[in-house]
Chain A
């Protein structure tokens, strides 16, 4: 029986995964190794990796994104990919000679994808096929549909016209020995509007070798159309696989449901556990080295050669050393401002369309028989929690179950706000409270291992609502807004990004899964139950999704704050925070606005005040001049909650400072006459 293939395509730029739009915009998604390891959990039929970098340079950015590979060439990254990739791998990008092919096959690729060089020098296809066999030569074709409907092949990343039609070029490539065609649509790329079926059909009818179709997939239902209507042998897509939980299994299910013959949905593997397995000896050595450097006062534990200097967005006050992935446009405007711009631009029709999508999701989640709650809302008891609960219960009419992770760091006002939610909204509320000794250990470990005492908080508050949802068979968890889309524009508002294990691991946990903590400070697996994410099978069984409300409705934090104060008696902090001018944010954790955030300053040279001021600039609530003044006042402050924390975990301030110094980002900081200095926004 012939089995069609479903193929995720990963785009790499400077060693990181990017999402692509129109072959032009490339926003950074994250660490390729984490993603590929995740795909290995799922019986993926095949993987296409295209390195679109134009130079040998790897953008490793912040240390705690866990991008740990050595070297700066495409072969270096391929080596690391191959170590994590136990599915068939086609690898492309900058392949110009048969030596390039040999090198990639030796490094772990099963097939090589060639594009521009094949157009420039068609005999290259023939040479390669003869030497390595047709089966490992994939010719990639980037096709553009002109305004008059005519199709044309482009090369050089979609920039250079060739005058050939995709069908003619594919036919010629086959005659020269190509074993497979990878067909991408330039104008559909990143749009989510579905495949260009006529394009696919024109090519698959012109050749007898397999055609892999890519470009335009925005919903799982689009995938089978490449095969059924377009005649392709394999359906591929890139962006969609990064946006949703269990994306590949659900995509596979959509193909099987449409009647395609494929390998079944695979969840879990006895050889590839989802949770990373750490090499204990080398991790111990890394911690040891850090502590030694701290003791000797040597400063940063890593160096970056030829690090680019920090620049600041010309519209807001965000630095290029951003903790989350952020890019600057040629005009020097950050992706966060660009996304904020998108959102400001939503008119009534667009907002109505988004609300319709939300209503459908909520309706599907509603309990039919009253045996469970309609959805879970992850709440910290903050202003956004109040607003979310207001919106879901009192506007949309659902009966939610509130779930809170209680990390034992609440401010007094935050604690009161939290415990009032059941009265104010008349909702059921589960507050998960881990044991305090365990929390102290995790505070200490988080600080020493990754320079962040709040690992427990970030992982705990994203894990527990999902755990409780699975336990109660509630298929929907509602979050507020997606932090990185908001602050740095990492994703497009049209992606309708949802909560994923990958994002939790890479962003919340910084690639330190709970498994890392087992055996440290005497912690056992059982001590860490509150940080253990449900299994893929459990999530799949109930079709659990975690959506961000910010993707569907107008999200204005400052207005939410005013609204919940007036309507629900929400309390702001009785005294101002030292590290930001806002009083209504992060009341659930005194260190979140305090020493956790001070560590962000130590690492990346900026803090919460930069976050808040940038958001306020984007919504038109603050001038850039005022923002600069506030950043200058707040970003560097070492806040008083340090004393509580030091006492809580049993550490001296000197120890703290020395360890903190090992986390200074060498892109930002330099030591002059024994003092740490950096460039500033106002210089």
Chain B
């Protein structure tokens, strides 16, 4: 069963709707015990890193996620959920993450161009060739809402990037069976649903 983690700050219903649209049933998990039967996990999230991580730690979900990942259960982090996969974030002080993909989360730089923080809007996103969720097309258009971004310790973990007024930012990261996307595939219309379809295909293998 595809399990979606209840993070209490997420737009979880949209994620459920997107998978339903693709004909996949989902189960919302708020208790770490529920993860035992998960065959794939989606970690969505909107909001502040500190609050979300605190919640995962307090409920024991953080450890459960690490265990399930060690069992090679595929995990897809979306937006804040992607950032939580990293080692730590610098949002409102330094806070540790799940540490499933080595890297840190830092604030988007101020630029001279029209890019403003938070970065809210659409970016043509280019696969690096290291990712397995991007099929064939040279770029795809995704919707982003964030002020912080994921810097990988190992560049090979970058799966797709976009140009943020001169700064190359990771739009997606990937390490083994752990996937993260900074954008919202569930809100990115056809391109987003294509990506989720690819995820569904991968986890069925």
Contacts and interface: CB of A to CB of B under 8 A. Distances in A.
B203 interface: no
Nearest to B49: A133
B61 interface: no
Contacts of A40: 189
A85 B189 CA distance: 9
Contacts of B146: 135
Nearest to B118: A135
Given A1-B163, A88-B184, A132-B47, A82 B116 contact: no
Given A136-B46, A179-B118, A86 B9 contact: no
Q: Helix, strand, loop or mixed for chain A's interface?
A: loop
Interface in B112-126: 113-124
Given A40-B189, A86-B189, A208-B117, A130 B17 contact: no
A5 B121 CA distance: 7
A171 B113 CA distance: 20
Q: Helix, strand, loop or mixed for chain B's interface?
A: mixed
Given A88-B145, A135-B145, A108 B18 contact: no
B13 A88 contact: no
B13 A82 contact: yes
A134 B193 contact: no
B9 A108 contact: no
Interface in B1-43: 8-14, 17-18, 21
Given A87-B189, A105-B10, A130-B92, A110 B121 contact: no
A130 B13 contact: no
Contacts of A2: 113-115, 121, 165
Interface in B127-149: 141, 143, 145-147
A288 to B, nearest CB: 26
B147 A271 contact: no
Contact of A180 (B8, B80, B118, B186): B118
B48 interface: yes
A3 interface: yes
Contacts of A234: 121
A588 to B, nearest CB: 42
B8 A102 contact: yes
Contacts of B46: 105, 110, 132-133, 135-136
A630 to B, nearest CB: 51
Interface string B162-196: 01010000000000000000001011011011000
A271 B21 contact: yes
Given A131-B48, A208-B116, A102 B9 contact: yes
Contact of A270 (B92, B190, B192): B190
| Residue from the set B17, B21, B184 with the largest chain A CB neighbour count within 10 Å | B17
A130 B48 contact: yes
Given A2-B114, A136-B46, A210-B116, A86 B187 contact: yes
A134 B147 contact: yes
A94 interface: no
Given A1-B163, A86-B187, A135 B8 contact: no
Nearest to B116: A210
B51 interface: yes
Contacts of A269: 189-190
A133 B47 contact: yes
Contact of B117 (A132, A209, A266): A209
Nearest to A138: B120
B34 to A, nearest CB: 18
Contacts of A136: 46-47, 145
Contacts of A20: none
B21 A233 contact: no
A191 interface: no
A4 B115 CA distance: 10
B191 to A, nearest CB: 9
B48 A106 contact: no
Nearest to A83: B17
Contact of B11 (A79, A110, A180): A110
Nearest to A180: B120
Contacts of A208: 110, 116-117
B29 to A, nearest CB: 15
B11 A132 contact: no
Contacts of B18: 86
A30 B147 CA distance: 37
B118 A5 contact: no
A132 B9 contact: yes
B140 to A, nearest CB: 11
Interface in A109-158: 109-111, 130-136
Contacts of B119: 135
A508 interface: no
Interface in A1-39: 1-5
A43 interface: yes
Which 3 A-B pairs rank lowest in CB-CB distance, beginning with the nearest?
A135-B118, A108-B13, A132-B47
23 contacts: A1-B163, A2-B113, A2-B115, A88-B187, A105-B10, A106-B12, A108-B14, A108-B17, A109-B11, A110-B11, A110-B46, A110-B145, A130-B48, A131-B9, A131-B47, A131-B48, A132-B46, A209-B117, A209-B118, A210-B118, A210-B120, A263-B122, A271-B189
Given A106-B8, A110-B11, 17 more contacts: A3-B123, A5-B122, A46-B143, A86-B14, A86-B186, A105-B10, A105-B11, A106-B13, A133-B118, A135-B118, A135-B146, A208-B110, A209-B117, A209-B118, A233-B120, A269-B189, A271-B190
Interface of A: 1-5, 40, 43, 45-46, 79, 82-83, 85-89, 102, 105-111, 130-136, 179-180, 208-210, 233-234, 263, 266, 269-272
